[in-house]
Structure 1
Amino acid sequence: MNFYFYKALYLHLFKYGVGVTNTNKKFEIVKELRMRQGTKSIRVLFITLLVCVFPLTGQTLKIETINVAPFGFIGKDGKPTGMMFEISNRIAQEADLKYTNEIIPYARTIFDLKIGTADFVLRFSNDELPAIAVPLVSIITMTTIILSKADAPYASLNDLDKKLVGVVRGGKFDEDFDNKTAINKVQVNDYAQMLKLLMRGRIDACIGTNVGLYYNAKQLGINPEMLSLPMQLSSKEFILHFSRKNADIQTMNKLKESVEKLKVKGEIRQIVNKYMGDFKWDIAELKNQATVLQVRVYSENILAQSHSPNPLIN
């Protein structure tokens, strides 16, 4: 190992924004590496570099949770809560890291990741995030679905031509749906307003994530039996985004391992289930239920036909 190896290693970290967060310190180390090429000095500087690569060790992790129910909100007791708030806390706890967690407006989380006032946020990705945050690990997959009343189900997007479908204002849930101009899209403020309009017969269907729609239905006292089986469109990942400004290899590895452990133990699913009540939010489970129901109905029809008199025989 020589000077050029250590220099190349540092420049790699510098290029990708990993490790040292103070820009002046970055140039300081590069300058010293150029000036001192003695073996002993290089060893000392390499140790210094390693210390800089892990700046968060022993410090408090700054977590932010999006202020969108059920992911993050202020409860009736005035305390922060929500499924992503709880999951974020468990990730830090499992990694044995000190942390704080604040409920923050959705749009502001991007700015805070960029300037480094937040270390990580659990949220959907967008075009801005890859440049300012490391998409470390997927937390959970959420399916974009369309719901209607139980007595008026829809099987495909074509069935929705000329129908009124509620869409949260500014929301982009599915490219095929967004591009289908034959569907009359009704802009609403949130999922709650959308579901109220559906139940009153003012719109024909709703679009959104399975978790968002089912949680708000539960809050409004809408029973699962009152809604159709979901039309599945596409999926979106809730991802742990770690600020590139504060990026730290050791901490990020701990967090990634923590998420995998929580998944294996089923803790993430348990937290989500707690907020969903009687609603089966997992689309795979709903599909299995639908298949079982279809088989049962088919079997009952066959059995009924076998016991009914055949007019051709009589």
Structure 2
Amino acid sequence: MTFRPSRIVAACAVLLSFGALAQVPPTLDKVKASGTISVAHRESSIPFSYLGAEGKPTGFGWEICQRIVDNVKKATGRADLKVETMPVTSQNRIPLVQNGTVDIECGSTTNNSDRGKQVAFAINYFYTGTRFLVKSDSGIKALSDLKGKRVVTTAGTTNFQVLRAANQRQQLGFDLLTAKDHAESALLVDGGRAEAFGMDDILLYGLRAAAANPASLAVVGEPLQVEPYAIMFRKDDPAFKKLVDDTVSGLMKSGEFEQLYKKWFQSAIPPKGVNLNAPMSKELQDNLKALSDKPAL
């Protein structure tokens, strides 16, 4: 796969109009005509999509997207297809998919019913729940220990709503802060400006592994909910959805998906060669057979 440097995303690209949305052609037509596919990635969603050696995107979701791009080349007859990579955040990823700035997003995006009104999702390829990253010596073990404390999460994520609801429901009175990305959220905990970072547990394990001193941090608490991750692309594009779903289901049926899972979740991974030792969840095992794109509520 050939990579081109990321483009600078202008602020106006995020400001959508209904007219602009209507002008985006079907993805395969768009890609065939331009000779370029734009693939969005995250910069710190370890091990799904993050910057590895030489600042290039890597990860579990990123590798799956490579297989999708290979099939796009075949479907469009563009063996010379160029891949343009673009970093996105939790806040701008959906608008940039909607308006055609990026064609597919390979990150750690939750497939839920509300987002399904704006974008489309492929077959679910991971399941996770909201837990907390804290300092190992903080004494925090559960949600109830956060009463009156400062809790941070990343802006634009479903975790914000989950944490706000839990805070109100249990009357914990913690201050709910937001940061621009996962790396900044983790830094607030590491620097003592927040006592806990509430996020999808697998991302917390990845951030802990990448920390300067992983032993100083711990992932605690029971999951507040279980949500699926899926690769995201534009709505109302049945031909492209079929190609993406066929690619994901093909990996699951052939056994290659399980090999990729072992590579990224049960083996040493960059940047520090840490093994996340994350067994495959029952939900994901079941979906290897069900091949469902069912969203969270």
After TM superposition, the structure 1 stretch with the greater mean CA deviation from structure 2, 73-82 or 226-235, is: 73-82
1:236 paired residue among 219, 227, 238: 227
Q: Which residue of 2 aligns with 1:29?
A: none
- Report the AA paired with residue 234 of structure 2: S
Structure-to-structure mapping, 1:49-64, within 5 angstroms: 62=37, 64=39
State the alpha-carbon separation in 2 of the partners of residues 109 and 198 from structure 1.
Answer: 25
Q: Which has the higher helix share?
A: 1
1:270 paired residue among 258, 263, 274: 263
- Report the AA paired with residue 103 of structure 1: M
Please state how far the C-alpha of 1:157 moved relative to its aligned partner.
Answer: 1.9
Partner deviation per Cα, 1:136-162 (whole Å, 9 max, x = no partner)? 201222332112222334343222111
From the superposition, tell whether residues 72 and 199 of structure 1 become closer, same or farther in structure 2 (CA, over 3 Å).
closer
From the superposition, tell whether residues 126 and 93 of structure 1 become closer, same or farther in structure 2 (CA, over 3 Å).
same
2:98 paired residue among 105, 114, 118: 114
Structure ID, larger Rg = 1
Q: Which residue of 2 aligns with 1:77?
A: 54
1:216 paired residue among 184, 207, 210: 207
Please state how far the C-alpha of 1:283 moved relative to its aligned partner.
Answer: 7.3
Q: Which residue of 1 aligns with 2:276?
A: 280
After superposition, the CA RMSD in angstroms is: 4.0
- Report the AA paired with residue 110 of structure 1: I
Structure 2 residue 141 is matched with structure 1 residue 151:
no
Partner deviation per Cα, 1:101-153 (whole Å, 9 max, x = no partner)? 52242455434543556543333335664245432201222332112222334
Please state how far the C-alpha of 1:178 moved relative to its aligned partner.
Answer: 1.0
Structure 2 residue 158 is matched with structure 1 residue 183:
no
The DSSP-based 3-state class of the residue aligned with 1:64 is strand
Partner deviation per Cα, 1:193-252 (whole Å, 9 max, x = no partner)? 4433433444322211233333333333122x3223421322332212343354217524
Structure 2 residue 217 is matched with structure 1 residue 227:
yes
From the superposition, tell whether residues 76 and 155 of structure 1 become closer, same or farther in structure 2 (CA, over 3 Å).
closer
For structure 2, the residue ranges without an aligned partner over 5 or more in a row are: 1-21, 282-297
Is the CA contact 2:96–2:102 (under 8 Å) kept in the aligned structure 1? yes
Q: Which residue of 2 aligns with 1:102?
A: 85
- Report the AA paired with residue 254 of structure 1: D
From the superposition, tell whether residues 94 and 146 of structure 1 become closer, same or farther in structure 2 (CA, over 3 Å).
same
Is the CA contact 2:163–2:198 (under 8 Å) kept in the aligned structure 1? no
State the alpha-carbon separation in 2 of the partners of residues 281 and 138 from structure 1.
Answer: 21
Structure-to-structure mapping, 1:189-200, within 5 angstroms: 189-200=180-191
Q: Which residue of 2 aligns with 1:34?
A: none
1:207 paired residue among 198, 201, 213: 198
Is the CA contact 2:52–2:270 (under 8 Å) kept in the aligned structure 1? no
- Report the AA paired with residue 139 of structure 1: Y
Please state how far the C-alpha of 1:69 moved relative to its aligned partner.
Answer: 1.8
1:257 paired residue among 227, 236, 249: 249
The DSSP-based 3-state class of the residue aligned with 2:194 is coil
Please state how far the C-alpha of 1:170 moved relative to its aligned partner.
Answer: 4.5
For structure 1, the residue ranges without an aligned partner over 5 or more in a row are: 1-21, 24-51, 286-314
State the alpha-carbon separation in 1 of the partners of residues 116 and 73 from structure 2.
Answer: 27
Is the CA contact 2:136–2:217 (under 8 Å) kept in the aligned structure 1? yes
The DSSP-based 3-state class of the residue aligned with 2:111 is coil
State the alpha-carbon separation in 2 of the partners of residues 78 and 175 from structure 1.
Answer: 32
Q: Which residue of 1 aligns with 2:43?
A: 68
Partner deviation per Cα, 1:75-106 (whole Å, 9 max, x = no partner)? 55354444432331034447884663522424
Aligned length: 234
- Report the AA paired with residue 104 of structure 2: F
Please state how far the C-alpha of 1:57 moved relative to its aligned partner.
Answer: 11
Partner deviation per Cα, 1:144-192 (whole Å, 9 max, x = no partner)? 2112222334343222111222223444416452121511223334433
